[in-house]
């Protein structure tokens, strides 16, 4: 893996497997049974120029759990970019201050441009509708863990990706990463105008996968192993799209009824979150809360070990992790959510 993580294009299947193995070793720390200090003294610069809750906090928490500390800035208003500073200058300056940088920016390609001015590892935390490589890594980690828990092989699995497949950067990175795996069946379900870019469909097909598009969930298939729902990225719409697209219709809703009618007890439901819970949004339904098939919070939990793995690998401390472990000294609840006790700590893949 090169010194930055800007796109999943830089990852081979071996590199993904390697990161998954490091993430597994991070589990005792992520689950707050052990403490490590391998990044003691290191500083992370978290630069977020777009809204974020989980990506920003989980990168932050992952770095802290490795013993490092974090400096961050959010939004353009409070950064010198509001004074006209270029990405190049900001990048060079930050390189002199911190040991790793995570950046989220509304423009596609901007994080790669930023990375050109520094030797300090830069991680793309989302560049507009471009990519979100760490999310795709934690998604693949989640899928491999869930399949191991369910005793199912990943080869030949059927994944259904739905919602905004045009502007959703998480699904762009995810399909590219999935294309490195044994032949899969991928069904893409999105409303007109929000289809997955054709070059990504072609790439996946060229690597031997069966990839098909459907116009709504009613037309999709029943034997689905993974449903990956996404939010409509209204903030990225062109003026024309804003005019023509009113709302996601009810035939896109993944809810308990859909799962009970069309899926199996071992189907897992994922979403990068946030899910839009406003009335009429028709995003992934909250009526699935408490249903064991809903993997979204196991998925967010997996963001910590995977992001720790990314840092450990980029900063080359992965060989030191076990040498430095101590027991946690504070109170840790037996499970993090109110209804996930059966899954806590269940199975590294
Ligand atoms: C996503 C993002 O920002 O791309 N969220 C995330 O990072 N988990 C998805 C979204 O905003 O809909």
Provide the pLDDT confidence category of residue 71 given band limits of 50, 70 and 90. Answer: very high
Structure tokens at 194: 């929000």
**Cα 51 from Cα 266, distance rounded (Å):** 33
Provide the pLDDT confidence category of residue 341 given band limits of 50, 70 and 90. Answer: low
Determine if ligand 1 sits within 6 Å of the CB of residue 45: no
The predicted structure's pLDDT at residue 251: 83
259 within 8 A of 291, measured Cβ to Cβ: yes
Half-sphere exposure of 226 (CA within 13 A, CB side): 32
Instruction: Report whether pLDDT(346) > 60.
Output: no
Mean pLDDT of 109-127: 97
> Percentage of residues in the chain with pLDDT exceeding 90?
80
Structure tokens at 152: 């199912």
The predicted structure's pLDDT at residue 84: 86
What would the pLDDT profile of 301-338 be if each residue is shown by its tens digit?
999 999 999 999 999 999 999 998 999 999 999 888 88
Residues for the chain: how many in total?
Answer: 349
Phi, psi of 188 (to 5 degrees): -110, 125
> Best mutation site among 107, 194, 273, 299 for ligand 1, i.e. most ligand atoms within 8 A of its Cβ?
273
**Cα 204 from Cα 176, distance rounded (Å):** 7
The predicted structure's pLDDT at residue 337: 87
Determine if ligand 1 sits within 6 Å of the CB of residue 56: no
Mean pLDDT of 290-301: 95
> Best mutation site among 46, 274, 301 for ligand 1, i.e. most ligand atoms within 8 A of its Cβ?
274
Sign (positive/negative) of CA torsion 207, 210, 134, 126?
positive
Determine if ligand 1 sits within 6 Å of the CB of residue 142: no
The predicted structure's pLDDT at residue 60: 98
The predicted structure's pLDDT at residue 244: 83
Instruction: Report whether pLDDT(281) > 90.
Output: no
Mean pLDDT of 68-91: 87
What would the pLDDT profile of 162-172 be if each residue is shown by its tens digit?
999 999 999 99
Instruction: Report whether pLDDT(219) > 90.
Output: no
Determine if ligand 1 sits within 6 Å of the CB of residue 299: no
- Which of 50-59, 82-91, 302-311 has the weakest average pLDDT? 82-91
Distance in Å, CA 41 to ligand 1 centroid? 30
Distance in Å, CA 231 to ligand 1 centroid? 8
Start-to-end Cα distance in the chain = 22
Determine if ligand 1 sits within 6 Å of the CB of residue 105: no
Taken in order of first residue, the domains within the chain and their CATH numbers are 8-131+303-327 (3.40.50.1370), 134-299 (3.40.50.1370)
Determine if ligand 1 sits within 6 Å of the CB of residue 132: yes
149 within 8 A of 130, measured Cβ to Cβ: no
The predicted structure's pLDDT at residue 130: 96
Tell me the three-class secondary structure of the chain, residue by residue: CCCCECCHHHCCHHHHHHHHHHHHHHHHHHCCCEECCCCCCCEEEEEECCCCCHHHHHHHHHHHHCCCEEEEEECCCCCHHHHCCCHHHHHHHHHCCCCEEEEEECCCCHHHHHHCCCCCCEEEEEECCCCCHHHHHHHHHHHHHHHHHHCCCCCCCEEEEECCCCCCHHHHHHHHHHCCCCCCEEEEECCCCCCCCHHHHHHHHHCCCEEEEECCHHHCCCCCCEEEECCCCHHHCCHHHHHHCCCCCHHHCCCHHHHHHHCCCCCEEECCCCCCCCCCCCCCCHHHCCCCCECHHHHHHHHHHHHHHHHHHHCCCHHHHHHHCEECCCCCCCCCCCCCCCCCCCCCC
Q: For residue 207, with 0-12 CB atoms within 10 Å meaning exposed, 13-18 middle and 19 or more buried, which class applies? A: middle
Determine if ligand 1 sits within 6 Å of the CB of residue 135: yes
- Which of 75-84, 101-110, 326-335 has the weakest average pLDDT? 75-84
Mean pLDDT of 37-44: 98
């Amino acid at each position: 893996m090169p010194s930055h993580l800007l796109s999943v294009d830089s990852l081979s299947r071996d590199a993904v497997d390697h990161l998954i193995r490091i993430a597994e070793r991070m589990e005792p720390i992520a689950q707050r049974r052990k403490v490590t200090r391998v990044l003691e003294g290191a500083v992370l610069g978290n630069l977020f120029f777009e809204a974020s809750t989980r990506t920003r906090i989980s990168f932050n928490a992952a770095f802290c759990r490795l013993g490092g500390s974090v400096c961050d800035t959010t939004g353009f208003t409070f950064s010198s970019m509001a004074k006209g500073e270029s990405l190049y200058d900001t990048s060079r300056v930050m390189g002199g201050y911190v040991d790793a940088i995570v950046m989220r920016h509304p423009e596609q390609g901007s994080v790669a441009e930023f990375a050109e001015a520094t030797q300090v590892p830069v991680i793309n935390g989302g560049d507009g509708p471009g990519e979100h490589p760490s999310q795709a890594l934690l998604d693949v980690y989640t899928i491999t863990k869930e399949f191991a828990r369910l005793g199912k092989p990943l080869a030949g699995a059927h994944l259904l990706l739905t919602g905004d497949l045009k502007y959703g950067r998480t699904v762009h990175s995810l399909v590219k990463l999935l294309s490195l795996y044994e032949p899969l069946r991928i069904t893409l379900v999105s409303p007109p105008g929000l289809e997955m870019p054709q070059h990504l469909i072609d790439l996946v097909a060229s690597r031997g996968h069966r990839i098909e598009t459907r116009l709504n969930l009613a037309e999709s298939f029943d034997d689905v192993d993974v449903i990956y729902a996404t939010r409509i990225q209204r903030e990225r719409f062109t003026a024309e799209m804003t005019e023509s697209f009113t709302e996601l219709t009810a035939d896109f809703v993944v809810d308990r009824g859909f799962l009970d009618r069309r899926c199996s007890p071992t189907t897992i439901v994922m979403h990068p979150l946030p899910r839009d819970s406003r009335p009429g949004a028709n995003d992934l339904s909250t009526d699935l809360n408490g249903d064991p098939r809903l993997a979204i919070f196991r998925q967010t939990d997996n963001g910590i070990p995977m992001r720790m793995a990314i840092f450990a690998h980029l900063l080359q401390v992965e060989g030191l992790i076990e040498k430095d472990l101590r027991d946690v000294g504070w109170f840790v609840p037996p499970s993090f959510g109110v209804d996930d006790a059966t899954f806590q700590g269940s199975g590294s893949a």
